[in-house]
Chain A
Amino acid sequence: MTVNMKIEEQEKTIENAQIQMRKGVLEFAILLLIAKGKIYASDILNKLKEANLVVVEGTIYPLLSRLKNSELVNYTWEESKSGPPRKYYILTEKGKIFLNQCDKQWKILETAVRLFKK
C-alpha cells in the first residue's frame, strides 16, 4: 500500500511540474496568437490543442478574462452566420509591449535551457 502511494505521489509531482511549465507558457502563447490578428476564442483553443498546450478548454476562459482585465487584450463582438455573435480578441498597445518583454524573457529561457542541455 505504501509503495503504491509513493508511486502516486511521484506521478503527481511530475504532473504538477508539467502543469506549471505549460501554464507559464500559456499566456505567452495566447498573446502570440492574438498578436497575429483578431481571433475567435474557439480558434485560439483549436490552435493551442494542436500544439498540445492545453488539454481541456476550461483553462482558457478565465485567462482571457484576466488578460482583458489587465488591458493586454481587448475584444470586439462580430456577427456570426451560424449563431449568436462571437468575441474576437485583439492585442492592445499595452499588450504589444508586454508581449515584447515576454519574448525577451523567452529568449533568455531558451538560451538557458539549450545551454544546460548540452
Chain B
Amino acid sequence: MAINHMEKTTTINLGGSAFTIEEGAYQNLKNYLESVRKNISSNADRDEVMIDIEMSIAEKLKEKSSANKQVITANNIEELISIMGHPEDFYESDKESSSKEKEQSEMIKKKLYRNSDDMIIGGVCSGIATYFNIEPVLIRLVAFLLIFCNGIGILAYIILWIIIPAAETKSQKLEMRGSPLTIVTIEQSFKEIENKKENHAVLGNIFKQMGSIIKRLFAIFIKISLFFINFSIIALSIFTIIGMAIFIGVTIMYANSGYTINDIPISEIAGSIPFYFLLISSFFAITIPAFLLLIADIAIAFHKKIANFATIIILIVVWMLSIVATVTIAIRYAPDLRLMISDTQYRQTIEIPSVENFNSISTNGKNLIISVKLGDKFSVIANGMPFDLNQISYKVDENKILNIDIVKKEISPKCLFCDQKITRIAITAPNIENIKINDSDLNIEKMTSDKLSIEASGSDNINIDGNIKDLNFKVASAYANLSGKFDKLAIEADKTNLTYDIDSETADIKLYKSTEANGSGTIDQSDIEMSDNSRLNGLESDISNVTMTLKNGSWAIIKVENDLSTNIDESSGLFYIGDVKQNKITNSPFATFTKISKVSLAEYRKNQNKDNYFHYLENNYKLDIDNADSELFQEKRELLREKF
C-alpha cells in the first residue's frame, strides 16, 4: 500500500484493547464518542452503555487491524461510524418521560453570535435575541430607541458588530441556537480540522485575520450607509406623501372658507383657475414618484413586492398625465394669477375728508411714503391696499398738527399674509412749519417756504428739495438727500447716510455718531462740527469761510476759499483744498491737518510715481506739505485711503 503522507500516530486503550491509531482518526473517534455519549438518554445507564459501545467498537477495529498490523486510519473510523450509526441514532426518541430532561442535557453551550440568517444591518440584534431566546423585534426596538440617547445605540451597535463574530458555519449556527449536537456538527468539526491543517504558517494566519477584520469593517460601513440611505428614502417618501396630503387638505379647507389673501378672497383666486383639477394633478405629480421610490426601496431592501408590474405602469402613466396637466395649467393661468395677486389691481386712491387747518405734520409708521407740498387748499390723498388704508388714522390736534398713525384695527382673522404694503400719502397745505417723521419715508419736492423744521428718524428714504429761507433739518438713523437753495441751514445728523447739494448763505452742519456725508454745492459761511467716527467728503462743495471742529475719529475732506478755522483732536483729521487764511487753529499736536491740491491729469501722469501724488474719487491730487519726507507723504496717503 502506497503511503501518501506522513501521519502522526498514537496508541489508545479502547474496551480493554490497545490500538495504534492516526492522530486525526483518534480525534474523530473521540469526538464521535463524545457526541454519542451526549445523545444517550440519561434513562439508560449511560456509563454502562458507553462501555458496551466501546467494546463493540474495539471488537470491530480489532478485526480490521489484527489482519495485517495496520494502523487505524480516518477511513476506518468513518466506516465504523457508518456501521454504528450517527450519534442521534443513539437517542431514544420514544421515551417521552425523559425527553425533556434529555433536551437539556443535550443542549450544547450557547455562544453569542451575530445571526447572519436574520439580519437587517449586521445581525447583532437578532444574535442577541437568539442568545436569550426572545423576539428579535424587541431587541431591535430597544436598539432603535437607544439611538435617541445621544446615539448610544449606534455606537454600541458598531462595537458589538465588531466584537461579536457572525455565525457563518453550520456548527456556529448550532452553537448560536444551542441546538443539540448531531452528525452535522461532527462533520463540520472534521472539516475545520482539515482546514486548520492547511494553514501552518503563523504569518499567513495573521494576514488572513487582518484581512477579515478589514473586510468586516468595510462591510459594516457599507451596511450602515445602506441602512441610512434606506431610512432616508423611506422617510422622505412617506413625509412627501403625508405632507402633500396635508397640504391639499389645508388648501381645500381654506379655499372653501371666507379667508382672504391681502383682501383678495381665496375662493375668488381658486375660482379663476381649474382649482380642484390642479390640486389633484399636482398631488399625483409629486406623490407618485415618492410612492414609486418607496416601493422600489422596499423591494430592494426587504425583498418585498408591494405592487405588481401593471400597477407600476398605471402609476407611471397617471404620473405623466399629471405632470402634463399641472404644467399646462401653470403656464396657462400663471399670468392671470400674478395679475390678481399683485396689488396694482386692488390698490385704491382715496381722499381723506375733512382734514384741515394744520401747519405741522407728524407721522408714525413704516411703509408710509409721505409727500408734502404747498398749495391753496388742504388735501390728503392716500393710495394703497384697502386693508392698509383702513388702518391709517388722520387727526388734527389742537396744536394744528396733523397726526398720521397706523392703528392696528382688529384685523379680519380670515386674512392670510396680510402684511402691510406701501401706502402713499400726499399732503397739501397752504403752510407747513414742522414735519416730524418716524419710520416713514418723506418726499418734499420743489417747496418754496420761509421757515421749515424737519425732524426725521428711522426712515429709509428722505428726499428734501426746495427753496427754503430757514431750514432746520434734524435726522437720525436714516438715509437722507437734501438739495436746494437756503439762506440759513442747520443740519444735525445722527447715524445717518446724508447726501446734500445745497446753495446756502450760512450752513450749520453737525455730523454725529458714524454719520457719513457727501456734500456738494456752495456755502458762504459754514460751521461744521463732527464727532464719533463721522465722515464728510466735501470735495465737490465750495465753502468760503468755515470753522471745522473734528472730534473722536472724525475725518473730513473740504474745499475752502477764504478763512479756515479748525479744532481737531488727535484721533481726527482734515484734508483741505484751497489757499486759505488760517484764522484760528487750535488743533491737537497729533491731529492730521493736511493741505492737498487738485492737479491736472497731465501733471498727475507725469508725477504719479511720487509719494505725494494720489488719485482720489476720479480726480488727481497732491499733498502740499513743505519739506516732508517721503514717509510722511506715504502715511498721509495711507490715511486718505483708509478713512475715505
Where the two chains meet, the residues of A that have a C-beta atom closer than 8 Å to any C-beta of B are 20, 23-24, 41-42, 55-59, 61-66, 68-69, 83-84, 87
Contacts and interface: CB of A to CB of B under 8 A. Distances in A.
Contacts of B55: 84
Contacts of B91: 62
B83 A64 contact: no
A23 B96 CA distance: 14
Contact of A57 (B16, B40, B83): B83
B52 A58 contact: no
Interface stretch (B41-49, B236-244, B347-355, B560-568): B41-49
B48 A65 contact: yes
A8 to B, nearest CB: 15
Interface string B13-40: 0011100000000000000000010001
A34 to B, nearest CB: 15
Contact of A58 (B15, B17, B41, B89): B89
B490 interface: no
B13 to A, nearest CB: 11
A84 B90 contact: no
A64 B86 CA distance: 18
A87 B84 contact: no
Contacts of A65: 44-45, 48-49, 52
A66 B91 CA distance: 12
21 contacts: A42-B56, A55-B85, A56-B82, A57-B84, A58-B85, A58-B89, A59-B90, A61-B49, A61-B56, A62-B40, A62-B44, A62-B49, A63-B92, A64-B52, A65-B45, A65-B49, A66-B43, A66-B44, A83-B58, A83-B62, A84-B58
Interface string B73-116: 00000000011111101111111000000000000000000000
Given A41-B56, A56-B83, A83-B17, A61 B94 contact: no
Given A57-B56, A58-B53, A84-B55, A69 B45 contact: yes
Given A61-B56, A66-B95, 19 more contacts: A23-B93, A56-B83, A56-B85, A56-B86, A56-B89, A57-B83, A57-B85, A58-B36, A58-B84, A58-B85, A61-B52, A62-B49, A63-B92, A64-B52, A65-B48, A65-B49, A66-B43, A66-B92, A84-B55
Q: Name which of B41, B43, B86, B89 has the most chain A CB atoms within 10 A of its CB.
A: B89
Given A41-B52, A65-B48, A66-B92, A59 B85 contact: yes
Contacts of A56: 82-86, 89
B59 A42 contact: yes
Contacts of A87: 52
B66 to A, nearest CB: 10
A69 B55 CA distance: 20
Interface residues of B, number: 31
A100 B59 CA distance: 34
Contacts of A59: 85, 89-90
B85 A69 contact: no
A59 B86 CA distance: 9
A69 B44 contact: yes
A84 B17 contact: yes
Q: Name which of A20, A61, A68, A83 has the most chain B CB atoms within 10 A of its CB.
A: A61
Contacts of A68: 45
A62 B56 contact: no
Contacts of A55: 85
Contacts of A69: 43-45
Pick the 3 closest A-B CB pairs, nearest first. A56-B85, A58-B85, A65-B44
B41 A62 contact: yes
A62 B98 CA distance: 13
Nearest to A54: B85
Nearest to B48: A65
A23 B92 CA distance: 9
Contacts of A84: 15-17, 55, 58
Nearest to A67: B44
A61 B53 CA distance: 7
Contacts of A23: 93-94
Given A57-B84, A59-B89, A83 B52 contact: no
Nearest to B93: A23
A64 B46 CA distance: 11
A49 to B, nearest CB: 10
B12 to A, nearest CB: 15
Q: Name which of B16, B82, B85 has the most chain A CB atoms within 10 A of its CB.
A: B85
B86 A58 contact: yes
A62 to B, nearest CB: 4
Contacts of B59: 42, 83
B163 to A, nearest CB: 35
A57 B52 CA distance: 11
A38 B92 CA distance: 24
Contacts of A57: 56, 83-85
Contacts of A24: 94
A97 to B, nearest CB: 21
Contacts of B82: 56
A58 B90 contact: yes
Contacts of A61: 49, 52-53, 56, 90
A82 to B, nearest CB: 8
Contacts of A20: 94
Contacts of B90: 58-59, 61-62
A22 B84 CA distance: 17
A37 B2 CA distance: 48
Contacts of B41: 62, 66
A65 B44 CA distance: 6
Contacts of B53: 58, 61
A64 B52 CA distance: 10
Contacts of B45: 65, 68-69
A91 to B, nearest CB: 18
Contacts of B62: 83
Q: Name which of B17, B62, B94 has the most chain A CB atoms within 10 A of its CB.
A: B94
Nearest to B85: A56
B85 A62 contact: no
A24 B91 CA distance: 14
B115 to A, nearest CB: 21
A59 B83 CA distance: 11
Contacts of B94: 20, 23-24
A66 B42 CA distance: 10
A24 B95 CA distance: 12
Interface in B280-317: none
A86 to B, nearest CB: 8
B520 to A, nearest CB: 93
